[in-house]
Chains A and B, each alone.
Chain A
Amino acid sequence: GQQVMQIPQYQHVQEGEDFTTYCNSSTTLSNIQWYKQRPGGHPVFLIQLVKSGEVKKQKRLTFQFGEAKKNSSLHITATQTTDVGTYFCADPNDMRFGAGTRLTVKP
């Protein structure tokens, strides 16, 4: 089974609302990666977090790595229809992916 747990499994929001997906690991992670997969597409790398407590931003996306390096989150501010897709976290050292959070956005 997967060692990286991700919630929620699905999230449906109205355009303009915020969205957050959470990733939790049972073990301390060296680093964590986030990917986005559009419907019908393949996973595309978004970012990698390495340091404890690290926060990185990409426009409306904010990525955080927990102090204990056991959890991470991706927050999207003011979602747009282009944000639709499934967001995965991944432990690249163990080649494990979270189950993903599928985001749908209602215009």
Chain B
Amino acid sequence: KAGVTQTPRYLIKTRGQQVTLSCSPISGHRSVSWYQQTPGQGLQFLFEYFSETQRNKGNFPGRFSGRQFSNSRSEMNVSTLELGDSALYLCASSERTSGISDTQYFGPGTRLTVL
């Protein structure tokens, strides 16, 4: 099976702009989670989508939003970009079956730089 793909891989934006990142999960995986990774804060959970519904949400401002489509592909949007939003944004997919937590398979990430 193909792995998790994320587009674009690199992005440069200026403060105040908005950005949309895309993630295609592994075929058959219905859960997609998004993380922000920075040197100072580590891996921070943004949100999880399962079957087009947001199931979990981390502690991020409303400028960060996401959605999931019927084919499980997901997008996340960041509006009114700030310098502090510069980070590696990682998407992870899992089967999210009931019971024991599933393995998360991470994509290569999108490196966002805000100038």
Question: How many inter-chain contacts with C-beta < 8 Å in the A-B complex?
Answer: 47
For B58, the chain A residues whose CB sits under 8 A away are 95
Interface residues contributed by chain A, number (CB under 8 Å)? 20
Q: Does more than half of chain B's interface fall in helix, strand or loop, or is it mixed?
A: strand
Task: Determine how close the nearest CB of chain A comes to the CB of B34; give it in whole angstroms.
Answer: 10
* Interface: A33 (CB within 8 A): yes
- B42 and A2 within 8 A (CB): yes
Interface size on B, residues (CB 8 A): 21
A30 within 8 A of B: yes
Q: Lowest 7 A-B CB distances belong to which pairs?
A: A92-B101, A97-B43, A95-B45, A42-B106, A99-B42, A45-B103, A43-B106
Q: Which residues of A contact B (CB under 8 A)?
A: 2, 30-31, 33, 41-45, 48, 50, 88, 92-93, 95-100
